[in-house]
Amino acid sequence: MLTVDEGQRLLRLLRVMSYASLVSSFLVVLTFAVFPTKRSSLGQVLTLCFCLSALGLTVGLLISTSWVSLEQVFASRSLCHLQAVFIQFFGSSCIIFFLLIAVNLYRMVVRKGLHVLSLTRRAAALEQRRADALSVVFTWPVQVSIGFMYAVVMTLIPLVANGFGPHHMYCWISGDDWGFIFGTLYAEMLGCLLVGGFLWLRIVYLAQRIHALAAKRSAAQRERAKLLDRNSRSGMASSHASAPLLGSPAGGNASLPGVTSGSMRSEASPPMALLGSPHPPTATISTAGSSGNSSGLMVARHLAFVAWFAIVFSIMASNELYMYSGHISYTFWVFHVLALGGIGVSTLITCGCSKLNYRLWRNLIVSCWSSPTAVSAVNSPGLPYAQTSPYGSTRRS
């Protein structure tokens, strides 16, 4: 059991982390609300829903840690149930949106990598079937509805069964009702961790494979371009050297002796067909490189998001499993409070801290300071910044 002094220290730590999470998650949600370009894709909408859930969870924690005393919350059935509903609903929605973000990130990596994986079409088709089997619906209204409806069901089950009550430092499910504790939250959390971890490993494997195949194809394209350039120059040099000796007219086939322009086009067409574009190889490579870097950065950021919150949920689940075994550790509770109370700070680290957000806010502040009528220009297509969707679509912001 924890001592009174340890419990007070944990309560103060939870209060500080909850206030930090409240400010952090509010800033992230405000960024999504102010700039429409941050809500232009399915992945961004799901990330916004996760941040909203983190904000609601933080508000629920502050009910007993700051705004109302813990004794008053435990004594009032209505306040206790209110805090329990906040924690259960938004905690469940955080878990389900974490899973939906991982699933859609996996689908994006597979679908956008098919043009590279087409070298092995059977493997590409298999990956496509696996990705489609993981998510039946691909529109944001349906997936958002699934996430929040799941949270509603998981909240109504303990509410109807009168399972809410004091739970250590706040009101949630009664501390000794392990059936509801694991059945309505932590069992789902462990399942989402397993699925999310498996998808994370698959994404890393596929990203490395796609990168290796793309690098190999780019190197082959460069070699073909060099070979074509070298053959054309040698052919032109030999034609200029042999034309006076052969007495051929100056206006004839002076580019390559014995080779017509049609045959030149037929020789050059196979490498160009392999490029998949009528443009020169150098232009194709440069364009693919610039778009690939931005897309790769977004994939890396969302991979970090999935990995970060997998660690957060693992810490919380480990503490509950340790208490279920009949032991209570102050060290485990410290990490549990840091993970639970700092969920809003985690959203700021993974979703809010980026150069794009800094540029958007800087442009908005400068526009408001210079001319109030120019605020709408922040999201106009004339800005030099491009908003790249984490799931493939690129739009001007």
pLDDT tens, position by position, 52-89: 999 999 999 999 888 888 889 999 999 999 999 999 99
Q: Are 354 and 301 in contact (CB under 8 A)?
A: yes
What six digits make up the tokens of 386? Answer: 């491009």
334 lies in some domain: yes
Return the beta strands (E) in the chain as ranges: 164-167, 170-173, 386-388, 394-396
What six digits make up the tokens of 319? Answer: 């503490």
Residue range of the domain that includes 110: 16-234+279-396
pLDDT tens, position by position, 152-166: 999 999 999 999 999
Global pTM reads 0.73
153 lies in some domain: yes
Number of domains into which the chain is organized: 1
- What is the residue whose two structure tokens read 């073909």? 224
Q: What would the DSSP string read from start to end of 108-141?
A: HHHHHTHHHHGGGHHHHHHHHHHHHHH-S--SHH
192 lies in some domain: yes
- Average pLDDT, stretch 204-211? 80
The C-alpha atoms of residue 70 and residue 68 are separated, in whole angstroms, by 6
Query: Per-residue pLDDT for 289 more than 50?
Result: no
271 lies in some domain: no
- CA-nearest of 205, 159, 194 to 299 is 205
Q: What letter would DSSP give residue 66?
A: I
**Confidence band for 284, pLDDT divided at 50, 70 and 90:** very low
Phi, psi of 309 (to 5 degrees): -75, -20
Domain containing residue 90: CATH number? 1.20.1070.10
**Which tops the pLDDT comparison, 232 or 36?**
36
The C-alpha atoms of residue 396 and residue 382 are separated, in whole angstroms, by 8
4 lies in some domain: no
Q: What letter would DSSP give residue 329?
A: -
Angstrom CA distances, 205 to 200, 244, 301, 344, stand at 9, 60, 16, 30
Q: What is the pLDDT of residue 37?
A: 85
Which residue type occupies 295? S
pLDDT tens, position by position, 310-319: 999 999 999 9
Angstrom CA distances, 190 to 46, 88, 148, 173, 312, stand at 20, 16, 19, 18, 12
Q: What is the pLDDT of residue 242?
A: 54
**Confidence band for 128, pLDDT divided at 50, 70 and 90:** low
109 lies in some domain: yes
323 lies in some domain: yes
Q: What is the pLDDT of residue 52?
A: 95
Contact residues for 83 (Cβ-Cβ < 8 A; gap 6+): 60, 63, 64, 73, 170, 171, 172
Q: What letter would DSSP give residue 349?
A: I
Q: What is the pLDDT of residue 260?
A: 44
The C-alpha atoms of residue 321 and residue 314 are separated, in whole angstroms, by 10
The C-alpha atoms of residue 381 and residue 102 are separated, in whole angstroms, by 30
What six digits make up the tokens of 271? Answer: 């490498």
Q: Helix H segments across 161-280? A: 178-181, 187-246, 261-275
**Confidence band for 381, pLDDT divided at 50, 70 and 90:** very low
